[in-house]
Amino acid sequence: MAVQTGLGEPRGPWFISPELDPDGRGWWDTPERDPGGRRPGRLLAVLAVVAVSAVSGALAGGVVASRDGAGGPAAASAAPVPAELVTAAERTVPGVVSVLAGGTTGGSATGGSATGSGFAVDDQQHLITNDHILAKGGGGPVTVELPDGRRFAAEVVGREPRSDLAVLKVPASAGLTPLPLAKPGATRVGEPVLAVGSPLGLAGTVTAGIVSALDRQVRLGNNRHTAVQTDASINPGNSGGPLVNARGEVVGVNTAIATIDGNGSIGIGFAIPIDQVQQTADTIIGKGG
């Protein structure tokens, strides 16, 4: 995709949390309660934004290097990565694409454009992504970039704004490997998951975490959603990418992150559950071919 030139800021519909007051504290941190022990009356819909990667400016890169101290090694060794997650990542990345909606100038995304992620769901080269990426692109052309760098103009098969899902299609020559979908109801709290996508334009990025909660009620824009909550790092550009379990099965579509005061990922992300994704995708593909 286009080389990003800055960290930018997450944008999109607000996630409404009834648990936070205007200064960003949870109700449990607030000393002022009424005699009945209820939460304070004034609660804020605090900052959380769909991870739409409409970013501009150049990525500020940094290299973290460890140095030995006077008496020993600089840092402890990282915990070993479970082998099943490595295998899941190897299976997933080839089926995940970067999505650019809207116009470009000089190879860079401009106003009225947005970038995100998507993934293949069948051998007909249908791709799942988030509708808010296309909405931010203003109905402009959609381009998909494959892991090997090839680009294809994508057909928009259909959109479902209420579920924040859209289906794209690329030519058969793309040859994308479809990702297996988890069985509805099989996801469990505490199981390890990977978020795969193109945060800040960095294609093929994999982050790890667990399923933090199921059936989390969140409101995105004007619509209420039941979401999978995860602490796998999700940032602008991850929107539309898959959340997969240790078997490499898609358990959800990464859609939103919670932030405090508009900052980046704080370890609370949300994905559209796979049962809703599959139902919506089947309906769209059935209508649009």
Active site residues: 132, 164, 239
The 3-state DSSP class for residue 172 equals helix
Tell me how far CA of residue 143 lies from CA of 2, 133, 237, in angstroms. 11, 12, 14
DSSP code string of 70-135: SSS-SSPPPPPPPHHHHHHHHHHGGGEEEEEES-EETTEE-TT-EEEEEEE-STT-EEEE-HHHHH
CA geometry: angle 189, 195, 201, nearest 5 deg: 160
The 3-state DSSP class for residue 33 equals coil
d(CA 93, CA 200): 17
Which of 143, 84, 77 has the alpha carbon at shortest distance from 109? Answer: 143
d(CA 217, CA 233): 20
Give me 23's structure tokens: 């200064």
Contact 150, 197 (CB under 8 A): no
The 3-state DSSP class for residue 5 equals strand
